[in-house]
Homo-oligomer: A and B are copies of this chain.
Amino acid sequence: MTENQEAREELRHQDQDELEQHLKEVLHLLSRHRLVEDLVHRQDMPRHDLVENLVHKQHINELEHKLDTLHPADIAYILEALPLEDRLLVWGLVNAENEGEVLLELSDAVRESLIETMAPADLVAAAEQLDADELADLAPDLPSEVIDDVFRSLDSEEREKLRAAMSYKEGSVGALMDFDLVSVREDVTLEVVLRYLRLFDDLPNHTDQLFVVDRNEHLRGVLPLDVLLVNDPDTEVAALMQTDTLTLQPADEADDAAQAFERYDLVSAPVLDKTGKLVGRLTVNAVMDYLREKNEAEQLAQAGLMEEEDIFASVWDSVKNRWQWLAVNMVTAFIASRVIGAFEGSIEKLVALAALMPIVAGIGGNSGNQTITMIVRAIALGQVGEDSARRLYRKEAGVALINGLLWGGLLGVLAWWLYQDIRLGLVMTGAMTLNLLVAAFVGVAVPMTMQKLGRDPAIGSSVMITAVTDSGGFFIFLGLATFFLL
């Protein structure tokens, strides 16, 4: 493990341009390899023709060598960019020692595409290179017999860690923490700590502080490395350790922990069980990964994609990933259509209604989405307390009223001018104003209700508001028109 890690440190960190250069080289080698294969096929030459085989081999060797020089995260980047066939070819060339690390770095969809093709024995080998907390991240994607084999291969301490890591529910601090940490006692001097550290081959990544524990592993404080470095070596740890540090529990919400990391610019934080015993630590890279994944999941969910989609996935996989959302939209669109259907008599008498009604519905949806976005963000910033609700409704109603009169008034004039009917114009203005008020009310109520129910207000709010403003907009406009004009 340690040797592996050291070897990896030696790999050069690439900036974006260099990375894209590597990708181009891989693509180039692949295309030359494919060219040779094509020739072999097309000319119907014996497949074991020596010369071709050598050329073929040479490209593959070059590729293999290239991959050995790359950081696992960079290999993952290249795999993401390759179509399935090339991806599997390149994956076959990745050094077995790196396979576990590379799998960790991949997006879920691409990871699954590779795991599907791997033999159980290879998966076990790849998994065994990982730490317990990393393994726990990978475990949901692995076949259960592989997990069982991995379990059996672990010593009892590691097995306990893995069991613990897998037991924490998604979105908790426990699921993100790792077990790599260095702890010291408070009754020793910094000199002793410095000597103790020299016994290590290297320190765990993101070690910005040492954890000070008593003999029962209960946390007494933390000793930041810079405190260790700037102070007199004869001082005792107890005199310098900080006791006011943020501590987390495995069951804490990862969201709250992430906010604390951002607020206080933390690099690591100790995780304690209920008795105060140090069980692990959370590091900033795990927090960053968590925030990125959460952000991505929200974006996907807003567009109704159930999970991330590998762009090289089959058409059929894509259809399966997207159908639920389309089904939901079909239902809401059908309801809106039936609202219109109820007013068909009015439309027959005044066909202008058909042309004007989508404007009322559309602007209502957009305005409602603005309100929702603003409220979701305010909730995330902690701006929305219990007292704010009434204030928010009042404010959004005010905005809706002004926008309704302003834009609705403009559209009313347009409608009057287009259809030479001032009453139609007035109905347009009235319907716009009412629908914007509906949008404002629902735009505040939906995210606030979802938050109260403990659900993520960013997800699903947008569908609901569009459903309401569509059906509502058609109903209000056609209803007003029927009542006043016909």
Contact = CB atoms under 8 A, between A and B. Distances in A.
Given A16-B260, A225-B229, A319-B403, A383 B311 contact: yes
Nearest to A315: B398
Contact of A359 (B289, B337, B384): B337
Contacts of A362: 329, 332-333, 336, 470
Interface string A278-298: 000000110111011001100
Given A262-B289, A333-B358, 9 more contacts: A14-B246, A200-B230, A295-B295, A303-B369, A311-B375, A311-B378, A319-B399, A319-B403, A329-B363
A395 B317 CA distance: 11
B336 A248 contact: no
A309 B366 contact: no
A341 B230 CA distance: 77
Interface stretch (A54-62, A126-134, A346-354): A346-354
Interface string A99-114: 0000001010000000
Contacts of A267: 206, 208, 267, 284
Nearest to A308: B377
Given A329-B363, A398-B315, A202 B230 contact: yes
A283 B284 CA distance: 11
Contacts of A98: none
Interface stretch (A5-13, A43-51, A152-160): A5-13
A326 B409 CA distance: 14
10 closest residue pairs by CB, A with B:
A13-B246, A16-B256, A303-B373, A203-B226, A315-B398, A265-B285, A354-B354, A340-B355, A73-B263, A12-B244
A131 to B, nearest CB: 14
A19 B246 CA distance: 12
Contacts of A348: 348, 351
Contacts of A241: none
Given A15-B256, A354-B354, A230 B304 contact: no
Interface stretch (A33-41, A75-83, A117-125, A138-146): A75-83
Interface of A: 9-17, 19-20, 23, 27, 71, 73-74, 77, 80-81, 83, 105, 107, 194, 197-198, 200-203, 205-208, 225-227, 229-232, 242, 244-248, 252-253, 256-257, 259-267, 284-285, 287-289, 291-292, 295-296, 299-300, 302-305, 308-312, 315-316, 318-319, 322-323, 325-327, 329-330, 332-334, 336-338, 340-341, 344, 347-348, 351-359, 361-363, 366-367, 369-370, 372-375, 377-378, 381-385, 387-388, 391-392, 395, 398-399, 402-403, 406-407, 410-411, 414, 418, 470, 474
Nearest to A246: B13
A300 B373 CA distance: 7
B107 A381 contact: yes
A374 B10 contact: no
Contacts of A284: 267, 284, 288
A80 B382 contact: yes
B344 A352 contact: yes
A230 B207 contact: no
Given A259-B16, A377-B296, A318 B226 contact: no
B312 A391 contact: yes
